[in-house]
Structure 1
Amino acid sequence: MVECVYCAEIFSFSEIQGHIDCCEKKNNSDSTAEETLENTQSGSSEEVQAGTSAAASSSSNQNPREENQSSSSEEWTTEPDVYEAANMFRRHLLNNAELKPGLVARLDLRSTEEDREREILTFYKKTGIDWASPFSVILTAIGDGVKRHFLSMVMEKIQFGFDLVFENTTRTLLFNGTGDHKVPSTSKALIDGDLFRVAGRAIGHSFIHGGPRFTGLSPAMLQLIVGSNEEFVAPEVADRPDTDVVDVVSVLDSQRKLTPQERCEVNNLAFSWDLPPINNNNRRWLAQKILQHAVVERRRTQMKQLRRGLKESGVVTMIKERPALAKVLFPRSAEQVMDSQTILKRIIWPMPDSEDEDDHSNVEETCLVTGFLRDYIEKGSSQELHLLLKFWTGWSIPPQHLYVEVSPEITLPVASTCLTTLKLSLKCQSYQAFEENLEASMRSTEFGFGLI
């Protein structure tokens, strides 16, 4: 936790930057607004709301603080860097909701995987929620590490599927496809259950609180969220996970003459979607129409639900104002590739205490162990580094600082996720033992999250 230098209030590491920005602007307000500012800081929620509302910003009697807040709330619309603009919008939502009742999620890690998934779905099925409200999670404690663990787990379920069984499947996938071609499932059970609306709320909620994003959404689907028809994005064959459609489109795109059986398969699919039969002049047109129907038309309901959930979370305003920011909310897969330098440059390595005589005897052992960690990071694949960060911090988003401690009192590595601190055992004398112990601890992330 960190104390604000302006108002002396206590905030977590993840919230302090946005708060300081707001607090600094308040501190630099005109002297004529000082009395109003003091009254507002003492707890007048009505003045805070008035300062951020559009109606108050247009009032002729508006005080300087209200003008300052209204101006800052619109800065994200003109910020040239789309990633910074998205962060400014996110902080704007959080600042507006900071006085609202807290939103608390409860999860019992001792329960079964299916029970935890039901708790997640029940949480995001709640209606009338301001998802920018102060957010906390109760597992076995309350803290930033718990919140990161919860949002990371939620987004993994949205991205890669639930173990809950629908329609006699072994795993319930909300989205199908690979790479940057993920599209919503056409499962009627998921649509009837309004689960894509749930997914939209979860995606927006995670973004607002700085959590993981949904990666690899098909550009054709992203256009449906943006709602712009200015630049039509044609669906690609890779967007269609069904092999029967892929085969028909591939046949139509080829230049060779179709066999009677192939022609029959094409016509059967065309007739089922009220499209005309194939002829010598419409092959390419028919291929595009079949692909358009298979990818886009069959998923409009799902995308409407997803967009409604995003709207309820508050992030659709950002996309409507600046459609380019949609790629921040739904990044490409390549942007999620983790490299060793991204982690190494953020690590604060342990320093020996020159005044502690006992510490001198452990300097060599400490250097040996930290050297093992550096080697592991430099050799690690993107997936391994993501897992390491998730164990270390609660999710695979690198913070500004990562701390390392070496202790003779532990056997396996542990993580204090709230403090982004990885604690390593001083007892490892070989790289192989270090690697085995670290990976064993990392595998516990599914069932725990280090020390909170």
Structure 2
Amino acid sequence: MASGSEDDTDIFNILEEIGMKEYKNVFKENMIRIQDVVELTEKDFEKHGVTAIGLQLRLKQACRNHLQAKSEDTSPVLKKFFDLKRERVRIQKTKKIKRHFKPTRRIYCGWKHAVRSDVFKVVTLSKGGGQQIIDVSKDTTYEVLEKQILDLYFPKARSMAQNLKLSDLNHYLASFSGDPLPRSFQNNHEFTVGNYFDHIKTYPVRVYLHTTKKDEDDDNYLPDISKSSPGPSKDMESQSLSLSSELEDPQLLPGTSRMFDAVCTDEGSDAEFENAGTPVIFFKKSTQTRLTSTPKPEKNGNKPFLSEDLDGDMQMQEAICASLEMMQQPQHFIDLDLRKWTMNTLKSEEEENVKQLIVVHRRHVLNSALRALDRASFKLEEPFKVEFPGELGADYGGPKREFLSCLMKELANAVLEGEPYNKTFIHSVPLLDKEMFFKAGRMIVWSILHGGPGFPFLNSTLYQLLIEPKDVVYSTDDVIDLDVKNKIQKLQTADEEELNLLSDWMVEQGVYGVVPPYTEQKRDCMARQLLKSHVYLRIHAEIAQFRKGLNTLEFYTIMKSNSEEVMGLFLHMLSNSMVTMQKIKEIIHINYSEDGSNDKRKEEDTMYAFELFLQDCSEDTSEINLNMLLAFWTGAETIPPLGFHKKLEIKFVEDPALLPVAHTCDLLPEISRGETPEEFHRKMELAITCGGEFHLA
């Protein structure tokens, strides 16, 4: 009897140790002992309510261990071993629980816009969309999450890339498959990010901002993507046409047809069709030429992981895969008009026949460029070579790329002020007298024409002022001077006495004739006038001079007619200056040895180390960032607007003692075979940081 009681106690202890204490009553009622558990079948377990295979196996193994330890009572060492093992499992389980507790959740965001009543298309990075990643608190509500995502794509309630105001759009958040996010769940819990993660039980979680153009009488909009309106207004049609034409050439969904330039009709049909009131959308033929291509999915059926059950709907499955492939396309492409301009403007010349030489002082790159531009024999459209005095090596592309990259950075420091990549012009009469802003425009055209970088340092408002000043909406965020910004913000809340004290300053800024009482309308008017005065009128002469310089070789004409495509040359968030691990991998070609050879196996080891190094550079866990790596490899810190003239190559060498060597003209580094990740990382850091100004080539 005592033995039976002891067995019961043992089985209860085991159940508690492995986290199955809720089954104690079941085992007690059925008088199941430890030795019985070892013999139970899957059906026996299910009969007693233990349906999970994992729990069945865990309990069986725990009982076996207990019986084995009990049979070896004469060995205190073995008994101690099992005791320590149980304690270690308990500690590891506790650590695992603590390790996985996070107060935030990661969400992958995107933006889709309606191009027809029931068709939404992903807006790409170059058009102001693209994938964004945010970490939000588990307690975040629907409204707060929506605001955070709206701020990503509509800062200041406006999409600069698409010239869309948020007030003109209906919007809602939807899941990966397009279903609107629920506001509450079956257990009557309100929407929070934590509850949503618990509800869908998948990872990664993707949330898309869905937008549609408002109808004039659209007051009761519901986020139902299957709903179509009877007939949109002309404004809606024109806006939808504009946006759809700017999106990437779509990969069509199953069951749809491609429409280009004209409406398709059934050939051979004599029937006449009445206007059904539905919008007709004309898709403009894509004028974009990709510099690189993404390999097609392999025929073995490897497709992106789909985290939501599609209930066997193959068309929906294919549509989602197509959408994912569109998102994964490389982003560095350029408008065909700009490519044509480059081909028609740049004079072709064999490398050995290039006569125009630019002598560059490394510590005075901008002055070297200004001297070159002032020479009577200098021609902007002719090919040129760069020479750094005292350095060996001919220029077959690498030195020129390095020179143009350094030139754009020095030029930005000379004529711009403000935060990095969010700058505006310095107001400087001496620089105006020297026509420095005109020369800056010319040098930017020169860089773009010859395969150098753009000028991705401007803020979006300044870019708009260059294109069309009358459409600009000013904000205090555009004001560089903190004192001026504070005074403008103070206008909204200051009392009459404080406003009287500001009146002299406002007159100095060009704001006249505002007298008490200071109504809200007057305050708004004063704020708008002061913003326009400081953001635009103060640097009007600089903008005009810069615009004139940009029109060298008629570049500004191309820029104005393709303002959204060219925007990436001047705005950092849309430019190729944002180098990513994926972008670099897309433009690399690896010169592997023959399959099955020992060299091939060693080269694969090195490429594994290289991938880890890329990851470290992209995650800021290394002293080297991706821009520094690209400069070491090519001489340019960014991918040029028109791309490199060929893919970046990797060549393997045998000597493990050598540091990596980069031949920037050939876009070719030499790295050793068979490197370990640690050794490769050390050598790359040493080569890039200590290899000299011109990166060992």
**TM more than 0.5:** yes
- Paired position in structure 2 for 1:239: 478
SS at match of 1:404: strand
Equivalent residue in structure 2 for 1:291, among 531, 534, 547: 531
Distance 1:136 1:233 in 2: 41
Does 1:122 find its partner at 2:371?
yes
Does 1:420 find its partner at 2:420?
no
- Paired position in structure 1 for 2:395: 142
- Paired position in structure 1 for 2:462: 221
**Judging changes above 3 Å, is the alpha-carbon distance between structure 1 residues 260 and 412 closer, same or farther for their aligned structure 2 residues?**
farther
- Paired position in structure 2 for 1:339: 580
Indicate if the aligned counterparts of 1:220 and 1:296 stay in contact, CA closer than 8 A.
no
Q: Percent identity?
A: 21
SS at match of 1:249: helix
**Judging changes above 3 Å, is the alpha-carbon distance between structure 1 residues 344 and 101 closer, same or farther for their aligned structure 2 residues?**
closer
- Paired position in structure 1 for 2:678: 432
SS at match of 1:418: coil
Equivalent residue in structure 2 for 1:251, among 486, 490, 500: 490
Q: How does 1:50-449 map to 2 (within 5 A)?
A: 80-81=287-288, 83-95=335-347, 102-109=355-362, 113-114=363-364, 116-126=365-375, 129-139=378-388, 140=392, 141-159=394-412, 161=413, 173-178=414-419, 181-226=422-467, 228=468, 232-252=471-491, 254=492, 256-258=493-495, 260-261=497-498, 263-264=500-501, 266-276=502-512, 277=514, 279=516, 280-281=518-519, 282-335=522-575, 336-353=577-594, 360=598, 362-381=599-618, 384-395=625-636, 396-397=638-639, 399=644, 400-409=646-655, 411-426=658-673, 428-429=675-676, 431-443=677-689, 447-449=693-695
Indicate if the aligned counterparts of 1:220 and 1:233 stay in contact, CA closer than 8 A.
yes
Tell me by how many angstroms 1:184 deviates. Answer: 0.6
SS at match of 2:650: strand
**Judging changes above 3 Å, is the alpha-carbon distance between structure 1 residues 156 and 382 closer, same or farther for their aligned structure 2 residues?**
farther
Higher radius of gyration, 1 or 2:
2
Tell me by how many angstroms 1:334 deviates. Answer: 3.9
Indicate if the aligned counterparts of 1:245 and 1:291 stay in contact, CA closer than 8 A.
no
**Judging changes above 3 Å, is the alpha-carbon distance between structure 1 residues 273 and 446 closer, same or farther for their aligned structure 2 residues?**
farther
Give the structure with the larger strand fraction. 2
Indicate if the aligned counterparts of 2:421 and 2:571 stay in contact, CA closer than 8 A.
no
**Judging changes above 3 Å, is the alpha-carbon distance between structure 1 residues 218 and 263 closer, same or farther for their aligned structure 2 residues?**
farther
**Judging changes above 3 Å, is the alpha-carbon distance between structure 1 residues 178 and 385 closer, same or farther for their aligned structure 2 residues?**
same
- Describe the superposition over 1:212-267 as per-residue Cα deviations: whole angstroms up to 9, x where unpaired: 111142333324433x45x5112322222110111112112x3x343745652x32
Distance 2:633 2:662 in 1: 5
**Judging changes above 3 Å, is the alpha-carbon distance between structure 1 residues 233 and 96 closer, same or farther for their aligned structure 2 residues?**
farther
Unpaired stretches in structure 2, ≥5 consecutive residues? 1-284, 289-333
**Judging changes above 3 Å, is the alpha-carbon distance between structure 1 residues 390 and 275 closer, same or farther for their aligned structure 2 residues?**
same
Tell me by how many angstroms 1:183 deviates. Answer: 0.7
**Judging changes above 3 Å, is the alpha-carbon distance between structure 1 residues 278 and 378 closer, same or farther for their aligned structure 2 residues?**
farther
**Judging changes above 3 Å, is the alpha-carbon distance between structure 1 residues 443 and 239 closer, same or farther for their aligned structure 2 residues?**
farther
Name the aligned partner's letter for residue 306 of structure 1: F
Indicate if the aligned counterparts of 1:215 and 1:330 stay in contact, CA closer than 8 A.
yes
Tell me by how many angstroms 1:427 deviates. Answer: 7.8
Indicate if the aligned counterparts of 1:237 and 1:246 stay in contact, CA closer than 8 A.
yes
Q: How does 1:18-37 map to 2 (within 5 A)?
A: none
SS at match of 1:268: helix
Distance 2:505 2:375 in 1: 40
SS at match of 1:149: helix
Indicate if the aligned counterparts of 2:572 and 2:578 stay in contact, CA closer than 8 A.
no
SS at match of 2:652: strand
Name the aligned partner's letter for residue 693 of structure 2: F
Indicate if the aligned counterparts of 2:405 and 2:453 stay in contact, CA closer than 8 A.
yes
Indicate if the aligned counterparts of 1:186 and 1:298 stay in contact, CA closer than 8 A.
yes
- Paired position in structure 2 for 1:10: none
**Judging changes above 3 Å, is the alpha-carbon distance between structure 1 residues 275 and 95 closer, same or farther for their aligned structure 2 residues?**
same
TM-score (norm 1): 0.68
Distance 1:209 1:311 in 2: 16
Tell me by how many angstroms 1:332 deviates. Answer: 4.2
TM-score (norm 2): 0.45
Distance 2:488 2:375 in 1: 41
Give the structure with the larger helix fraction. 1
**Judging changes above 3 Å, is the alpha-carbon distance between structure 1 residues 251 and 412 closer, same or farther for their aligned structure 2 residues?**
same
Indicate if the aligned counterparts of 1:411 and 1:425 stay in contact, CA closer than 8 A.
yes
Distance 1:179 1:237 in 2: 17
CA RMSD in angstroms comes to 3.3
Tell me by how many angstroms 1:306 deviates. Answer: 1.3
Name the aligned partner's letter for residue 540 of structure 2: R
Indicate if the aligned counterparts of 2:395 and 2:665 stay in contact, CA closer than 8 A.
no
**Judging changes above 3 Å, is the alpha-carbon distance between structure 1 residues 288 and 103 closer, same or farther for their aligned structure 2 residues?**
farther
Tell me by how many angstroms 1:392 deviates. Answer: 0.6
Indicate if the aligned counterparts of 1:184 and 1:299 stay in contact, CA closer than 8 A.
yes
Name the aligned partner's letter for residue 613 of structure 2: Y
Tell me by how many angstroms 1:387 deviates. Answer: 1.8
Name the aligned partner's letter for residue 609 of structure 2: F
SS at match of 1:136: strand
Unpaired stretches in structure 1, ≥5 consecutive residues? 1-77, 162-172
Bigger CA drift: 138-147 or 381-390?
381-390
Indicate if the aligned counterparts of 1:338 and 1:382 stay in contact, CA closer than 8 A.
no
Tell me by how many angstroms 1:294 deviates. Answer: 0.8
**Judging changes above 3 Å, is the alpha-carbon distance between structure 1 residues 341 and 393 closer, same or farther for their aligned structure 2 residues?**
same
Q: How many residues align?
A: 349
Bigger CA drift: 312-321 or 284-293?
312-321
More RCO (CA 8 Å, sep 6+)? 1
